[in-house]
Structure 1
Amino acid sequence: METLFLYIAKSSGLIAMFYIAYYFLLRKETFFTANRWYLLAGLLTSVILPWIVFTTIVWVEPTPSTIDWSKVPHSVPIQKESFEINWYIVLAAAYAIGTVLFLIQFGLDYYHLNRVLKGKNIQQQADHKFIDVKENIAPFSYFNTIVYNSSLYNESEMESILEHEKVHSEQYHTIDVLITRFFCILFWFNPFIWLYKKAILQNLEFIADNEATKNLSDKKAYQLTLLKITAHENCVVLTNHFYQSLIKKRIVMLNKNQSKKWNSWKYVLILPALVGFVLLFQMEVIAKEKNHNPKIEQTTSKDEDVYQITKNTTEAELKQKAEILSEKYDIKTTFSKVKRNSNNELIGLKIKLQKGKEIATVMEVNSSEPIKDFAIAISKNDNGTTNIGIVTEKNKTNDKLVQENEIIVSNTSIPADTQIYINGSKSDKAEMDKLDPNEIATVNVNKNDNKQEIRIITKKFAKIGSENDIYINDKKVNQDELDHLDQGTIERMDVNKEGKTIRIITKNRTYNQDKNMPVPPVPPTPPVMKFKTPAPPAFPKAPKAPKGDPINGDKKAWKEFENKMEDYEAKMKKMEPQMEAFDKQMAEFDKQMEPYNKEMEAFEAKMKVYEKQMEEYQSKLDKENN
């Protein structure tokens, strides 16, 4: 389910990216047909690209197992299981309810459309079907069917309307409408999809207006028809409407000069963003061990049984281990949330060990990388009680390892040379025995250089670290680094409750920092513009058409309206120099951005070198740790 939500999040992000690029770069251009294919390609890319993952396989030497399982003590008290809300199920239910509601709305809209078309007299002319209805609805087209009420318009107006709707029909604009509606159902929670839908419908009207006026002799009459249709608010959904609440923008686009061809370079600006998306989210590096034997064996000592689990453990092997634990120790073992990558390696697993009605221990691994080797260890005390534990190799736990309710009891037999750390400070068994088990957050038991090591973190100390930003000698560190800090080296610790920061100064003023670590390149600084971002001129407000039509309506009002339209067209004509000046300012803006774009290309090249250096550095660290 997590994979599904991740896919939805990536798709939603791509939809937002395509819309933002359209809004700032393309919506004012007159490349209407190109904009149509750009917007449709954006939707298709948003659902296809998140499925494409580029994998790179890196072969590494197998990690030798150095754990002496028989000498590692494991004991856990029985703790009650706390109630957990599965937020994935909650989100999935909310998403499903929203999707069903929008599907129902789609069905109702389709039913309403069929009621309008059903039983009407159809006139076939060439490839088009014409339906003249009596209902007071706005003209629309649905595939090759054009619907209108001829009693509401004169001959000239009907000519304009039919030319407009024929363009919708001939260019299959209904498909665009249905695709957009489908995406609105799937991504109803994403506000950008509704803006995306509006942009597509608006652009389809621009296309129809532009093509229709090519076949009409009177462009002014066409604009008057646009204004008249404003009075019709009854529209049928799932169709292309002659009026889409865009009258002002459509008239502006009709009178706007054609965009210069060199402005079409803006379409390629989306490509770097797509490449960045792939590099950030669709690249996966898989490490494989050479000559690795996937078989998992059970090791048994005199007092302890150990059941190893690796990234290559199969479901059948997990089931077999659960059956053995149940028959031999009466321990109910549940393996859930099993996740695997494309190489069938375990990357996610939740283990619940239960004896009787109480939970002994719970461990959950959830990572994008294959899990590290670990084991379930069962031993018997002299008094006959059973100790249950989960151990990992050399404290190399997974990045997102969660262990709940796992602590060491005070009567556990611990070797004399065991190193004990409480909240990062070296301690002893006497101090450990004084701890209240209910106050312990986590316990790590591991072998390090043939010496046993126990690290305990209390709930109070864990809470302080989780709520604050931690700095050691002015270097920000994470919770794991704080846990491993020897408190005997601390000289001063300042806690800022308001700023939620913890600053620690050690006695020698130094903190482990590898000088051989590669230094990332510094990104370039955007240029300082010599002028503010160009703003387009304000268009005059188009006059509102009077009620009725020019022939049967108020002729005086229509005469005044025609005079206002002439004045409006004159004002629009005067604005052409301002629009040309705006285009020049945008050209200057693009010119000033060119050096910065080149610097960004150089920065990206340096980042590739840096990433390669980091891979070599990390590989060297892994070899040294092994």
Structure 2
Amino acid sequence: MNDTFIYLLKSMIYAGIFFGYYTLFLKNTIYHAYNRFYLLAAMALSVVFPMFHLSISVFEEEVAATPALKYLMYGSTAPVQGLRVTSANIPSELVPMYVISALLLCYLAYSIIRIFRLKAMNAKKQMGDFTFIETDLEEAPFSFFSNLFWKKSISIEDENGQKMLQHELTHIREKHSWDRLFSQLICSVFWMNPFNWIMQKELQNIHEFIADRDAVGTGEVDAFAKMLLQTYYGNHFLNPSHSFYYSSIKRRIIMLTTSNTPKYAYLRKVAVLPLVAISLVLFSIQLSAQKPKPKKEVATQYTVTMRPDSTTFSDPKTGKKVFSVATRDMPPPPPPAGAPAPPTPAVLTLHGSGSDVKVIHLDSTTVEFKGQSGGKEIVFRAEKVNNNDLGSGKKPNVILSPSASTSPKVKPLIVIDGVITSEINLNDLNPNNIQSMNVLKGEKATTKYAEKGANGVIEITTKKP
């Protein structure tokens, strides 16, 4: 029920805006053909536009902070959808409204049937594109589609009769009956919208203005105006509204004597387009809140320098130090096959953050650190830079070396140029003299060096002089 009332309210607002523009800029002008189709379009759009639904997504924080956004989000409704009409889903409050619409539609059907019965009961004669039907009905003459109902007491031969005949033939040629039928359907279904009835009445006046202009032609306007005042001329078959609105005779005479083009004629016609667009956006927009999407973490690359007591991460572009990691314990190499499970990876402390970082991977060319910083999981990956790519006088970016606090039991076997070296400080080696470095772990180390390689083997090959 709430959706129905909001739809009807929006329909009234649209109709009011369109008719207000017509009253200010188009009414009582000589643009009769333009005004005719403007009023028809206004009635149709006031019914269709409330069904449009423009959805815009905004973040929940913005909705909470802006009252206008709250109204657009919670005060708007989804577009009116076609529903199966059953007794179960029709609110009792809407039943009277539907009953009145049904009665008005029945009245419209009765009026049409009455016209065709009148045609069948009276003499008729085919005259070109229309059927001439003589009747004693007081409302005659009037036309309905290609049927012209003529009052027998009016002579078709005299001057007034000829003008009235031309008037009705204009209604037939311009197919004004379609306009009357369409507007009456809108008014019957949406009878609760007062602007529909006003626009229907104005549309009937436009029809009369068009027919009057065509009937007068090059003749005297005064004679036609006198005929209007002397003859009761009505057309009430498709109009259940009352006649107390006002008489259109005065306006018809005024429009017959008006020929001046108003100022800004073209602007008056096209200015309605932005009005229609703005109205559609303002009354059809509906907001839907959404949570902000988490930003994808961009992988950060660092230049890493590893030493026995610390590892330094530097900006690869500027070379400036970003942060450093102090090593308390380096993880031991994997045990040989069948040996007990390796101990828990050593814990590293990220300077200045108070967060714990773990070494999660270590081999001859790569080391990875994993930890928590600011509630987010961070993984750092350091890769060894090939010494051959360094220019003269430059230090290598990564130096693989054991920790100073490493226990002798887990000290790897160091082999330089095929010779096992029991005691040597890797920092004493000149990196520029190292041709290659290889790390053997697990089964590969014990297969080649037996029990001596149980804790891993570092093979270093130096450059030959």
TM-score, normalised by the number of residues in structure 1: 0.39
Q: Deviations over 1:267-313 (max 9, x none)?
A: 33434443332333212333445889xxxxxxxxxxxxxxxxxxxxx
Deviation (angstroms), 1:184: 1.0
Deviation (angstroms), 1:58: 5.1
Query: Per the alignment, in what secondary structure is the counterpart of residue 49 of structure 1?
Result: helix
- Counterpart code for 2:123: N
Change (3 A) 1:125 1:10: same
2:204 corresponds in structure 1 to 201
Aligned-pair identity in percent equals: 27
Query: Per the alignment, in what secondary structure is the counterpart of residue 153 of structure 2?
Result: helix
- Counterpart code for 2:168: E
* Bigger CA radius of gyration: 2
Query: Per the alignment, in what secondary structure is the counterpart of residue 48 of structure 1?
Result: helix
Deviation (angstroms), 1:60: 8.2
Structure 1 residues 302-313: aligned runs within 5 Å? none
- Counterpart code for 2:191: W
Work out which of the residue numbers 127, 137, 140 in structure 2 matches 1:138: 140
Structure 1 distance, partners of 2:143, 2:41, is 24
Structure 2 distance, partners of 1:269, 1:90, is 43
Q: Deviations over 1:381-408 (max 9, x none)?
A: xxxxxxxxxxxxxxxxxxxxxxxxxxxx
Change (3 A) 1:90 1:132: same
Structure 1 residues 464-613: aligned runs within 5 Å? none
Deviation (angstroms), 1:245: 3.8
Work out which of the residue numbers 83, 106, 109 in structure 2 matches 1:107: 109
Deviation (angstroms), 1:112: 2.5
Structure 1 residues 355-374: aligned runs within 5 Å? none
Structure 2 distance, partners of 1:14, 1:236, is 28
Work out which of the residue numbers 144, 161, 176 in structure 1 matches 2:164: 161
Residues 1:187 and 2:190 aligned together: yes
Structure 2 distance, partners of 1:163, 1:277, is 41
Conserved in 2, the CA contact under 8 Å of 1:18 and 1:42?
yes
Change (3 A) 1:136 1:43: closer
Conserved in 1, the CA contact under 8 Å of 2:43 and 2:196?
no
Structure 1 residues 415-494: aligned runs within 5 Å? none
Deviation (angstroms), 1:159: 0.7
Deviation (angstroms), 1:185: 0.8
Deviation (angstroms), 1:90: 4.0
1:228 corresponds in structure 2 to 230
1:148 corresponds in structure 2 to 150
Query: Per the alignment, in what secondary structure is the counterpart of residue 264 of structure 2?
Result: helix
Deviation (angstroms), 1:10: 1.1
1:8 corresponds in structure 2 to 8
Structure 2 distance, partners of 1:203, 1:258, is 17
Work out which of the residue numbers 119, 125, 128 in structure 2 matches 1:126: 128
1:45 corresponds in structure 2 to 45
1:28 corresponds in structure 2 to 28
Deviation (angstroms), 1:28: 1.7
Structure 2 distance, partners of 1:157, 1:183, is 35
Conserved in 2, the CA contact under 8 Å of 1:11 and 1:50?
yes
- Counterpart code for 2:142: F
Work out which of the residue numbers 201, 204, 211 in structure 1 matches 2:214: 211
Structure 2 distance, partners of 1:8, 1:25, is 26
Structure 1 distance, partners of 2:103, 2:136, is 32
Unaligned runs of 5+ residues in structure 1 are 62-87, 293-626
Conserved in 1, the CA contact under 8 Å of 2:221 and 2:257?
no
Deviation (angstroms), 1:100: 2.0
Change (3 A) 1:166 1:255: same
Structure 2 distance, partners of 1:263, 1:49, is 27
- Counterpart code for 2:209: F
Change (3 A) 1:15 1:166: same
Unaligned runs of 5+ residues in structure 2 are 62-89, 295-465
Query: Per the alignment, in what secondary structure is the counterpart of residue 118 of structure 1?
Result: helix
Conserved in 2, the CA contact under 8 Å of 1:59 and 1:289?
yes
Deviation (angstroms), 1:205: 0.5
- Counterpart code for 1:152: I
1:91 corresponds in structure 2 to 93
Conserved in 2, the CA contact under 8 Å of 1:16 and 1:193?
no
Q: Deviations over 1:150-179 (max 9, x none)?
A: 422352111101111111111110111111
Deviation (angstroms), 1:57: 3.8
2:176 corresponds in structure 1 to 173
Change (3 A) 1:258 1:146: farther
Conserved in 1, the CA contact under 8 Å of 2:26 and 2:268?
yes
4+ runs deviating over 6 angstroms: none
Query: Per the alignment, in what secondary structure is the counterpart of residue 197 of structure 2?
Result: helix
Q: Deviations over 1:31-87 (max 9, x none)?
A: 1111001111111211222222222345889xxxxxxxxxxxxxxxxxxxxxxxxxx
Deviation (angstroms), 1:133: 1.8
Structure 2 distance, partners of 1:269, 1:11, is 21
Structure 2 distance, partners of 1:89, 1:237, is 34
- Counterpart code for 2:281: L
Conserved in 1, the CA contact under 8 Å of 2:60 and 2:291?
yes
Structure 1 distance, partners of 2:267, 2:100, is 39
Query: Per the alignment, in what secondary structure is the counterpart of residue 256 of structure 1?
Result: coil
- Counterpart code for 2:194: P
Query: Per the alignment, in what secondary structure is the counterpart of residue 30 of structure 1?
Result: coil
Change (3 A) 1:58 1:135: closer
2:351 corresponds in structure 1 to none
Structure 2 distance, partners of 1:194, 1:236, is 14
Computed over aligned residues only, the root mean square deviation of the Cα atoms, in angstroms, reads 3.0
